[in-house]
Amino acid sequence: MVWLNQWGLPMSVSGWKQVFADANARCRAQGVAVRATPHVLRHSYAVTTLELLWRGHLQVLGEMNGEQRLTYQRVFGDPLNWVRIRLGHRSATTTAIYLNPRELHQTGEKSQVTWSRRETEGFLSLYKLAA
């Protein structure tokens, strides 16, 4: 996706740096202690999208047998792969880091969304059955 500047041209790196610097300054002026960066936005998108897609799949898959799960996955696809493609990752293993808040913490990331361990493990077991 290409974002355009005020002259209708693609935004430059320095233009993006200024957009984020201005946004951070506005937040500070309002007493909001946040530091927005392109990486933080990308990370938040990945974690939030995976959570929403997988919670929806978990709800539906939990009431299905193995054959129904396989059919469902063929029709609706794999949430991890869907996000992987949008992030430009070559491997789903890279994208899967966003699934486990403890792994994110070990890589220095702070999870924006907290899942209970039971929900994450429960979904992964259903996911494996559908594979």
Residues 6+ apart with CB under 8 A from 64: 72
Distance CA 14, CA 19 (A): 9
Does one domain contain both 43 and 92?
yes
pLDDT digits (tens, 9 = 90+) for 111-121: 444 444 444 45
Does one domain contain both 77 and 120?
yes
Does one domain contain both 43 and 106?
yes
In this structure, what token pair is assigned to residue 66?
Answer: 């193995």
Distance CA 27, CA 32 (A): 5
Q: Has this prediction a pTM greater than 0.85? A: no
Does one domain contain both 5 and 46?
no
Average pLDDT, the chain: 78
The answer to whether the CB of 44 falls within 8 A of the CB of 18 is: no
In the chain, the number of structural domains is 2
Does one domain contain both 24 and 49?
no
Q: Which domain holds residue 1?
A: 1-36
pLDDT digits (tens, 9 = 90+) for 74-101: 888 888 999 999 999 999 998 888 776 5
Does one domain contain both 17 and 67?
no
Does one domain contain both 114 and 94?
yes
Does one domain contain both 4 and 60?
no
| pLDDT in the model for residue 123 | 47
Distance CA 92, CA 106 (A): 19
